[in-house]
């Protein structure tokens, strides 16, 4: 335990354990609202960063523009969920007997309630999910009508959008609920939606790659392992462990990454959770974001096919240089915030060393890790030449028979919606504002940075006129 030593498990008894799940969140809100209000009252006009011209044109990289209590990405420590590192989460989150990886019910409890879960808490979330299982038949019919060429991420986003008519929050809003109470029906939607994510993912998999038959969830299995069961892999104990690990690692990544930010933006208009989560998935489906897991696997398979096995270091370097010379990115490498190897990569690497040390694709992943940082460093422009979560995730899935590269992002999204839904509930609980930054034309930017003093002040006042 490194980071969270100061507060490890101390908040395990923060709220009254006899309170229902919703009230454990509700009990914390007055203090949170006061804390943020007094911060704004006293320090609202303090600057905590600078917006430069390169940041405006450079995807707002490095601009602190969002606040969330749920998670934070530290450039060297990596992801911290409620202050806990990936390794701490893997070690400390509750597990059931004979499993080495966490129950996702426990992680969702931590994301939502901000208290470190006991086994009982984790099991209570798993039980709430179990009670809410079931996707409407018309959603399955809709997925079946889609053409074979439809990407599984398109189906995933569509399925969630199609479930929107059942939004409890949308209905409550139309009946006139207070803005400050809106988080309660949002939480209801969050539980209903997240309960069904493994089933939605498995249904997509079964329609696209198996015989189309739907397998009902097994009530004796946990949320992650049920995905394995519903795609016909229920008897593969090691794959169920991988599902638990995968779902733990991909569940959240603060609020500024493209899918979280998209989902947050949509939710800030008071759109319901189905609308904002579907939008978030559309951002995750981009190759610079979650689709990189698919792209990595395709890249690794192309290397294998070129060299008929494990290439030498020199061959691999050559292949990478070719990819770069075609003005493509090396998928699975680089990051907008991290400046070290992603802790989520390392956790999956450890799993592979234990469960599939001889696998040829894993050995290629290893070799890429030896070669790629140097190659990328030599480009002279990359800020982080190390692997991210996607550099290995699809390789592990492939080993267990998920051989369709494009499906891996659906698994990423299945897990990530746990985080996005928790952010959405808390954003409404804290009454965060609708997002509405300003934009400028290049002429205005030029005038702002290259004018005489007199011109500059008139342009600034024009640009900032409300």
Active-site residue flag, 289? yes
The residue within the footprint of ligand NMX, chosen from 333, 398, 399, 407 (CB under 6 A), is 333
Burial of 435 (0-12, 13-18, 19+ CB in 10 A): middle
* Residues between 48 and 67 with contacts to ligand NMX, criterion CB under 6 A: 61
C-alpha 420/C-alpha 108 separation (Å) is 11
Give the active site residue among 72, 289, 342, 423: 289
Give the residue carrying structure tokens 């530290």. Answer: 74
At closest approach, how far in Å is the CB of 29 from ligand MLT?
27
Partner from ligand MLT, ligand NMX, none binding residue 417, C-beta < 5-8 Å depending on class: none
x-or-dash string of contact with ligand NMX, 363-382, rule CB under 6 A:
------------------xx
The residue within the footprint of ligand NMX, chosen from 240, 335, 428, 447 (CB under 6 A), is 335
Could you give phi then psi for residue 365, rounded to 5 degrees?
A: -55, -45
The residue within the footprint of ligand NMX, chosen from 390, 402, 415, 427 (CB under 6 A), is 390
Query: In terms of CB distance, is 28 or 388 closer to ligand MLT?
Result: 388
Question: Strands across the sheet with 84-85, in order?
Answer: 71-74, 78-81, 84-85
Q: Which helix (H) or strand (E) holds 324?
A: helix 313-325
C-alpha 392/C-alpha 376 separation (Å) is 18
Number of neighbouring beta carbons within 10 Å of residue 305: 9
Give the active site residue among 121, 229, 390, 423: 390
At closest approach, how far in Å is the CB of 249 from ligand MLT?
9
At closest approach, how far in Å is the CB of 333 from ligand NMX?
4
Instruction: Assess 292 for contact with ligand NMX (CB under 6 A).
Output: yes
Partner from ligand MLT, ligand NMX, none binding residue 283, C-beta < 5-8 Å depending on class: none
> Contact, 152 vs 210, CB < 8 A?
no
Active-site residue flag, 151? no
Number of neighbouring beta carbons within 10 Å of residue 127: 12
Partner from ligand NMX, ligand MLT, none binding residue 333, C-beta < 5-8 Å depending on class: ligand NMX
Could you give phi then psi for residue 335, rounded to 5 degrees?
A: -165, 150
C-alpha 374/C-alpha 330 separation (Å) is 13
Residue number closest to ligand NMX, CB atom: 334
At closest approach, how far in Å is the CB of 421 from ligand NMX?
18
C-alpha 86/C-alpha 385 separation (Å) is 21
CA–chain centroid gap for 414, Å, is: 9
Active-site residue flag, 189? no
Q: Which helix (H) or strand (E) holds 84?
A: strand 84-85
CB under 6 A: which stretch of 83-91, 136-144, 384-392, 422-430 binds ligand NMX? 384-392
The residue within the footprint of ligand NMX, chosen from 388, 395, 414, 421 (CB under 6 A), is 388
User: Length of the chain, please?
Assistant: 466
Partner from ligand NMX, ligand MLT, none binding residue 311, C-beta < 5-8 Å depending on class: none
The residue within the footprint of ligand NMX, chosen from 60, 310, 329, 448 (CB under 6 A), is 329
C-alpha 231/C-alpha 224 separation (Å) is 12
Number of neighbouring beta carbons within 10 Å of residue 377: 12
The residue within the footprint of ligand NMX, chosen from 136, 234, 336, 373 (CB under 6 A), is 336
At closest approach, how far in Å is the CB of 336 from ligand MLT?
4
At closest approach, how far in Å is the CB of 411 from ligand MLT?
13
Q: Which residues make up the interface to ligand MLT (CB under 6 A)? A: 73, 253, 257, 289, 335-337, 388-389
Closest CA to 410 of 397, 426, 392, 422: 397
The residue within the footprint of ligand NMX, chosen from 83, 198, 280, 290 (CB under 6 A), is 290
At closest approach, how far in Å is the CB of 385 from ligand NMX?
8
The residue within the footprint of ligand NMX, chosen from 244, 264, 289, 447 (CB under 6 A), is 289
At closest approach, how far in Å is the CB of 381 from ligand NMX?
4
C-alpha 297/C-alpha 412 separation (Å) is 14
Give the residue carrying structure tokens 């949002």. Answer: 186
Closest CA to 205 of 416, 413, 27: 413
Partner from ligand NMX, ligand MLT, none binding residue 126, C-beta < 5-8 Å depending on class: none
Could you give phi then psi for residue 71, rounded to 5 degrees?
A: -155, 165
Binding site for ligand NMX (CB under 6 A): 61, 288-290, 292, 324, 329-336, 381-384, 388-390
Query: Which residues are part of the catalytic machinery?
Result: 289, 335, 390
């Amino acid at each position: 335990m490194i980071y969270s030593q100061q507060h490890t498990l101390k908040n395990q008894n923060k709220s009254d354990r006899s309170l229902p799940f919703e009230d454990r969140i509700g009990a914390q809100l007055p203090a949170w609202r006061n804390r943020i209000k007094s911060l704004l009252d006293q320090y609202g006009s303090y600057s905590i960063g600078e917006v430069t011209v390169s940041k405006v044109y450079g995807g707002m990289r490095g601009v602190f523009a969002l606040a969330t209590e749920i998670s934070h990405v530290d450039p060297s420590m990596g992801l911290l969920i409620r202050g806990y590192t990936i390794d701490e989460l893997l070690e400390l989150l509750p597990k059931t007997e004979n499993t080495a990886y966490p129950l996702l019910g426990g992680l969702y409890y931590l994301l939502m309630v901000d208290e470190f879960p006991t086994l009982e808490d984790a099991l209570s979330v798993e039980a709430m999910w179990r009670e809410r299982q079931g996707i409407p038949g018309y959603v399955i019919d809709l997925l079946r009508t889609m053409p074979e060429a439809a990407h599984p991420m398109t189906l995933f986003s569509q399925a969630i959008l199609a479930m929107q008519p059942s939004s409890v929050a949308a209905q409550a809003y139309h009946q006139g609920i207070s803005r400050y109470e809106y988080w309660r029906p949002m939480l209801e939607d969050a539980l209903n939606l997240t309960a069904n994510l493994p089933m939605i993912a498995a249904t997509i998999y079964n329609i696209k790659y198996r015989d189309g038959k739907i397998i009902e969830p097994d009530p004796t299995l946990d949320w992650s392992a049920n995905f394995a069961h519903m795609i016909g892999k229920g008897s593969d104990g090691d794959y169920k462990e991988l599902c638990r690990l995968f779902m733990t690692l991909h569940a959240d990544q603060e609020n500024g990454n493209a899918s979280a930010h998209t989902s947050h933006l949509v939710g800030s208009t008071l759109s319901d959770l189905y609308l904002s989560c579907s939008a978030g998935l559309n951002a995750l489906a981009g190759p610079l974001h979650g689709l990189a897991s698919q792209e990595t696997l395709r890249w690794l398979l192309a290397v294998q096919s070129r060299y008929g096995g494990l290439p030498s270091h020199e061959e691999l370097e050559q292949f990478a240089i070719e990819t770069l010379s075609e003005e493509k990115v090396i998928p699975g490498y680089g990051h907008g915030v991290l400046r070290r190897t992603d802790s989520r990569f390392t956790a999956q690497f450890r799993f592979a060393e234990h469960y599939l040390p001889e696998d040829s694709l894993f050995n290629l992943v290893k070799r890429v890790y030896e070669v790629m940082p140097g190659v990328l460093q030599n480009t002279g422009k990359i800020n982080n030449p190390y692997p991210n979560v996607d550099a290995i995730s699809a390789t592990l899935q492939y080993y267990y028979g998920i051989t369709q590269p494009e499906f891996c992002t659906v698994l990423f999204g299945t897990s990530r919606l746990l985080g996005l839904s928790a952010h959405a509930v808390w954003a409404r609980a804290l009454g965060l504002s609708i997002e509405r930054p300003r934009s400028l034309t290049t002429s205005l930017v030029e005038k702002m940075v290259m004018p005489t003093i007199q011109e500059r002040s008139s342009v600034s006042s024009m640009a900032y006129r409300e």
